[in-house]
Amino acid sequence: MRSMLRREAVSKKKQSPDGEGASFHLILLARDNNGYRNLITLVTKAYTEGFYYRPRIDMNLLEQYSGGLIALTSCLKGEIPYYLQRGMMDRARDKALEYKHLLGPDNFYIELQENGLPEQEELNKKLVELARDLHIGIVATNDCHYMRREDAKAHDILVCIQTGKSVNDKNRLHFTSDGLYFKSPEEMKTAFRELPEAILNTRAIAERCNVEFTLGVNLLPKYELENGKTPDAMLGALAYEGLAKRLAPKPL
Protein backbone atom coordinates (compact mmCIF):
# COMPACT_ATOMS: atom_id res chain seq x y z
CA MET A 1 0.00 0.00 0.00
CA ARG A 2 1.49 3.31 -1.11
CA SER A 3 0.68 6.89 -0.29
CA MET A 4 2.48 10.10 -1.09
CA LEU A 5 2.30 12.57 1.77
CA ARG A 6 3.64 16.07 1.78
CA ARG A 7 6.10 16.12 4.66
CA GLU A 8 5.94 19.69 5.90
CA ALA A 9 9.05 21.52 7.00
CA VAL A 10 7.52 24.82 8.04
CA SER A 11 7.19 26.64 11.33
CA LYS A 12 3.93 27.72 12.94
CA LYS A 13 4.17 30.92 10.89
CA LYS A 14 3.99 28.81 7.71
CA GLN A 15 7.55 29.75 6.82
CA SER A 16 10.14 27.10 6.01
CA PRO A 17 13.52 27.22 7.81
CA ASP A 18 15.29 28.26 4.60
CA GLY A 19 12.69 30.87 3.69
CA GLU A 20 11.17 28.97 0.77
CA GLY A 21 7.79 28.43 2.41
CA ALA A 22 7.47 25.09 0.64
CA SER A 23 6.41 21.59 1.58
CA PHE A 24 8.13 18.44 0.44
CA HIS A 25 7.04 15.12 -1.02
CA LEU A 26 7.67 11.85 0.82
CA ILE A 27 6.72 8.34 -0.28
CA LEU A 28 5.36 6.11 2.49
CA LEU A 29 4.70 2.40 1.96
CA ALA A 30 2.85 0.12 4.36
CA ARG A 31 4.77 -3.05 5.21
CA ASP A 32 1.92 -4.64 7.13
CA ASN A 33 -1.53 -3.95 8.56
CA ASN A 34 -0.07 -1.91 11.39
CA GLY A 35 1.69 0.27 8.84
CA TYR A 36 -1.55 0.58 6.87
CA ARG A 37 -3.40 1.79 9.98
CA ASN A 38 -0.64 4.30 10.66
CA LEU A 39 -0.75 5.43 7.04
CA ILE A 40 -4.50 6.00 7.29
CA THR A 41 -3.98 7.98 10.49
CA LEU A 42 -1.30 10.14 8.87
CA VAL A 43 -3.46 10.86 5.83
CA THR A 44 -6.43 11.74 8.03
CA LYS A 45 -4.41 14.07 10.25
CA ALA A 46 -2.76 15.62 7.19
CA TYR A 47 -6.21 16.73 6.03
CA THR A 48 -7.86 17.50 9.38
CA GLU A 49 -4.97 19.02 11.35
CA GLY A 50 -2.14 19.89 8.95
CA PHE A 51 -4.03 21.27 5.96
CA TYR A 52 -2.60 24.56 4.69
CA TYR A 53 -3.28 24.90 0.95
CA ARG A 54 -2.62 21.15 0.81
CA PRO A 55 -2.56 18.22 3.27
CA ARG A 56 0.68 18.05 5.28
CA ILE A 57 2.37 16.20 8.11
CA ASP A 58 5.49 17.04 10.11
CA MET A 59 8.34 15.01 11.57
CA ASN A 60 6.75 14.79 15.01
CA LEU A 61 3.61 13.23 13.58
CA LEU A 62 5.60 10.87 11.38
CA GLU A 63 7.59 9.74 14.42
CA GLN A 64 4.38 8.91 16.30
CA TYR A 65 3.00 6.78 13.46
CA SER A 66 6.12 5.40 11.77
CA GLY A 67 5.57 1.77 12.76
CA GLY A 68 5.19 -0.62 9.84
CA LEU A 69 6.18 1.99 7.26
CA ILE A 70 8.91 2.23 4.62
CA ALA A 71 9.88 5.70 3.37
CA LEU A 72 11.46 6.78 0.08
CA THR A 73 12.93 10.23 -0.55
CA SER A 74 10.57 10.88 -3.49
CA CYS A 75 11.11 12.90 -6.68
CA LEU A 76 12.73 16.28 -7.33
CA LYS A 77 10.22 17.73 -4.86
CA GLY A 78 11.47 15.55 -2.01
CA GLU A 79 13.17 17.20 0.96
CA ILE A 80 16.61 15.65 0.53
CA PRO A 81 16.63 16.15 -3.28
CA TYR A 82 15.56 19.76 -2.65
CA TYR A 83 18.59 20.44 -0.47
CA LEU A 84 21.02 18.63 -2.75
CA GLN A 85 19.88 20.61 -5.79
CA ARG A 86 20.68 23.82 -3.92
CA GLY A 87 24.09 22.75 -2.69
CA MET A 88 22.92 22.38 0.94
CA MET A 89 24.92 19.21 1.48
CA ASP A 90 25.07 19.34 5.27
CA ARG A 91 21.32 19.93 5.48
CA ALA A 92 20.65 16.99 3.16
CA ARG A 93 22.97 14.76 5.16
CA ASP A 94 21.37 15.70 8.49
CA LYS A 95 17.86 15.08 7.17
CA ALA A 96 18.81 11.73 5.68
CA LEU A 97 20.23 10.62 9.03
CA GLU A 98 17.12 11.90 10.80
CA TYR A 99 14.84 9.83 8.57
CA LYS A 100 17.12 6.81 8.92
CA HIS A 101 17.01 7.06 12.69
CA LEU A 102 13.26 7.70 12.81
CA LEU A 103 12.21 4.84 10.51
CA GLY A 104 15.08 2.44 11.07
CA PRO A 105 17.99 1.68 8.70
CA ASP A 106 16.02 -1.02 6.86
CA ASN A 107 12.98 1.18 6.29
CA PHE A 108 14.43 4.27 4.64
CA TYR A 109 15.75 4.45 1.06
CA ILE A 110 17.28 7.05 -1.21
CA GLU A 111 15.09 7.15 -4.32
CA LEU A 112 16.56 7.35 -7.83
CA GLN A 113 14.65 8.08 -11.03
CA GLU A 114 15.55 8.00 -14.73
CA ASN A 115 12.93 10.21 -16.34
CA GLY A 116 14.84 12.11 -19.01
CA LEU A 117 15.10 15.33 -17.00
CA PRO A 118 18.64 16.80 -17.01
CA GLU A 119 18.30 18.02 -13.43
CA GLN A 120 17.33 14.48 -12.35
CA GLU A 121 20.43 13.01 -13.96
CA GLU A 122 22.66 15.44 -12.09
CA LEU A 123 20.75 14.89 -8.86
CA ASN A 124 21.10 11.10 -9.09
CA LYS A 125 24.87 11.40 -8.82
CA LYS A 126 24.55 13.36 -5.58
CA LEU A 127 21.91 10.99 -4.22
CA VAL A 128 24.09 7.93 -4.84
CA GLU A 129 27.07 9.64 -3.24
CA LEU A 130 24.98 10.55 -0.20
CA ALA A 131 23.56 7.03 0.09
CA ARG A 132 27.02 5.46 -0.10
CA ASP A 133 28.40 7.88 2.49
CA LEU A 134 25.57 7.27 4.99
CA HIS A 135 25.12 3.55 4.25
CA ILE A 136 21.52 4.00 3.12
CA GLY A 137 19.96 1.77 0.49
CA ILE A 138 19.05 3.10 -2.96
CA VAL A 139 15.88 2.19 -4.84
CA ALA A 140 14.86 2.65 -8.47
CA THR A 141 11.45 4.19 -9.18
CA ASN A 142 9.79 6.25 -11.89
CA ASP A 143 7.52 9.24 -11.44
CA CYS A 144 4.38 8.13 -13.32
CA HIS A 145 1.99 10.78 -14.62
CA TYR A 146 0.55 8.67 -17.46
CA MET A 147 0.63 5.03 -18.58
CA ARG A 148 2.42 5.14 -21.95
CA ARG A 149 5.10 7.37 -23.45
CA GLU A 150 2.72 8.36 -26.25
CA ASP A 151 0.29 9.71 -23.63
CA ALA A 152 2.65 12.60 -22.85
CA LYS A 153 0.91 15.01 -25.26
CA ALA A 154 -2.54 14.22 -23.88
CA HIS A 155 -1.19 14.72 -20.36
CA ASP A 156 0.27 18.07 -21.39
CA ILE A 157 -3.16 19.18 -22.59
CA LEU A 158 -4.76 18.03 -19.34
CA VAL A 159 -2.23 20.10 -17.38
CA CYS A 160 -3.20 23.13 -19.49
CA ILE A 161 -6.87 22.52 -18.72
CA GLN A 162 -6.13 22.11 -15.01
CA THR A 163 -4.08 25.32 -14.82
CA GLY A 164 -6.25 27.35 -17.18
CA LYS A 165 -3.45 27.91 -19.70
CA SER A 166 -3.07 27.58 -23.45
CA VAL A 167 -0.61 25.14 -25.02
CA ASN A 168 0.88 28.16 -26.79
CA ASP A 169 1.67 29.89 -23.50
CA LYS A 170 5.46 29.76 -23.11
CA ASN A 171 5.29 30.53 -19.38
CA ARG A 172 2.89 27.74 -18.44
CA LEU A 173 3.62 24.62 -16.39
CA HIS A 174 5.23 22.19 -18.81
CA PHE A 175 7.05 18.87 -18.41
CA THR A 176 10.19 18.81 -20.54
CA SER A 177 10.35 15.02 -20.69
CA ASP A 178 8.06 12.32 -22.08
CA GLY A 179 9.57 9.74 -19.71
CA LEU A 180 7.05 10.13 -16.89
CA TYR A 181 5.15 6.97 -17.81
CA PHE A 182 4.75 3.48 -16.34
CA LYS A 183 7.90 1.74 -17.51
CA SER A 184 8.22 -2.00 -17.97
CA PRO A 185 10.62 -4.09 -15.85
CA GLU A 186 12.91 -4.37 -18.87
CA GLU A 187 13.00 -0.61 -19.33
CA MET A 188 13.77 -0.07 -15.65
CA LYS A 189 16.59 -2.64 -15.73
CA THR A 190 18.09 -0.92 -18.76
CA ALA A 191 17.79 2.54 -17.21
CA PHE A 192 19.56 1.40 -14.04
CA ARG A 193 21.99 -1.11 -15.54
CA GLU A 194 24.89 0.62 -13.76
CA LEU A 195 23.07 0.42 -10.40
CA PRO A 196 21.58 -3.09 -10.28
CA GLU A 197 21.17 -2.92 -6.48
CA ALA A 198 18.58 -0.17 -6.98
CA ILE A 199 16.45 -2.57 -9.03
CA LEU A 200 16.96 -5.41 -6.56
CA ASN A 201 15.81 -3.13 -3.73
CA THR A 202 12.68 -2.20 -5.68
CA ARG A 203 11.70 -5.85 -5.76
CA ALA A 204 12.78 -6.45 -2.15
CA ILE A 205 10.61 -3.58 -0.92
CA ALA A 206 7.63 -4.82 -2.91
CA GLU A 207 8.01 -8.27 -1.36
CA ARG A 208 8.17 -6.76 2.13
CA CYS A 209 4.85 -4.93 1.70
CA ASN A 210 2.15 -7.40 2.72
CA VAL A 211 -1.07 -5.72 3.77
CA GLU A 212 -4.04 -8.06 4.11
CA PHE A 213 -7.54 -6.75 3.42
CA THR A 214 -10.79 -8.38 4.44
CA LEU A 215 -13.08 -8.11 1.44
CA GLY A 216 -16.83 -8.45 1.28
CA VAL A 217 -17.42 -6.96 4.73
CA ASN A 218 -19.32 -3.70 5.13
CA LEU A 219 -17.40 -1.60 7.64
CA LEU A 220 -19.55 1.51 7.38
CA PRO A 221 -21.01 2.67 10.72
CA LYS A 222 -24.67 1.91 11.45
CA TYR A 223 -26.94 4.69 12.64
CA GLU A 224 -30.24 4.24 14.43
CA LEU A 225 -32.67 6.64 12.77
CA GLU A 226 -35.86 8.04 14.28
CA ASN A 227 -39.36 7.35 12.99
CA GLY A 228 -38.22 4.27 11.13
CA LYS A 229 -36.64 6.25 8.30
CA THR A 230 -34.19 4.50 6.01
CA PRO A 231 -30.67 5.90 5.57
CA ASP A 232 -31.43 6.72 1.92
CA ALA A 233 -34.57 8.66 2.87
CA MET A 234 -32.72 10.55 5.60
CA LEU A 235 -29.87 11.43 3.24
CA GLY A 236 -32.35 12.67 0.66
CA ALA A 237 -34.17 14.82 3.21
CA LEU A 238 -30.90 16.39 4.40
CA ALA A 239 -29.83 17.05 0.82
CA TYR A 240 -33.10 18.87 0.00
CA GLU A 241 -32.88 20.80 3.26
CA GLY A 242 -29.35 21.94 2.46
CA LEU A 243 -30.35 22.85 -1.11
CA ALA A 244 -33.21 25.00 0.18
CA LYS A 245 -30.82 26.90 2.42
CA ARG A 246 -28.44 27.55 -0.43
CA LEU A 247 -31.20 28.73 -2.75
CA ALA A 248 -32.87 30.95 -0.18
CA PRO A 249 -32.71 34.64 -1.09
CA LYS A 250 -30.07 36.52 0.80
CA PRO A 251 -31.15 39.54 2.90
CA LEU A 252 -30.35 42.90 1.35
Domain parsing of the chain, residue ranges: 2-144+183-208, 146-181
CATH fold group of domain 2-144+183-208:
TIM Barrel (3.20.20)
Q: How much is the pLDDT for 12?
A: 36
Backbone CA torsion sign across 96, 102, 105, 107 = negative
pTM of the model: 0.79
Going by DSSP bridges, is the β-strand pair 23-30/2-8 parallel, antiparallel, or unpaired? antiparallel
Q: How much is the pLDDT for 5?
A: 56
Quick: pLDDT tens for 207-243: 999 999 888 988 888 878 877 888 889 899 999 999 9
Q: How much is the pLDDT for 14?
A: 43
Give the list of residues 6+ apart from residue 2 with CB closer than 8 angstroms, or none.
27, 28, 29, 30
CB 25, CB 78: distance < 8 Å = yes
